[in-house]
Amino acid sequence: MILGKKIVVVLPAYNAGRTLEKTYREIPFDIIDDVILVDDASKDNTSQLARKLGIGHVVVHKNNRGYGGNQKTCYDTARELGADVVVMLHPDYQYTPKLIRSMAYLIAEGVYPVVFGSRILGKGALKGGMPMYKYIANRMLTLFQNIMFNQKLAEYHTGYRAFSGDVLNTLKYDLNSDDFVFDNEMIGQIFMSGFEIGEITCPTQYFDEASSINFARSIKYGLGVLRVSITYRLCKWGVYRSPIFR
Span 195-212, average pLDDT: 82
Q: Is residue 192 part of a domain?
A: yes
Task: State pLDDT tens for residues 108-129.
Answer: 999 999 999 999 987 777 888 8
Cβ atoms of 116 and 199 within 8 Å: the answer is: yes
Q: Is residue 246 part of a domain?
A: no
Q: Is residue 107 part of a domain?
A: yes
Least confident of 32-41, 97-106, 180-189, 204-213: 204-213
State the residue range of the domain holding 91: 7-240
Model confidence at 214, pLDDT cuts 50, 70, 90, reads: confident
Task: State pLDDT tens for residues 156-199.
Answer: 999 999 999 999 999 999 999 999 999 999 999 999 999 999 99
Number of compact structural domains in the chain: 1
Q: Is residue 245 part of a domain?
A: no
Q: Which residue, 5, 142, 178, 151, is CA-closest to 87?
A: 5
Q: Is residue 154 part of a domain?
A: yes
Q: Is residue 2 part of a domain?
A: no
CATH number at residue 104: 3.90.550.10
Q: Is residue 1 part of a domain?
A: no
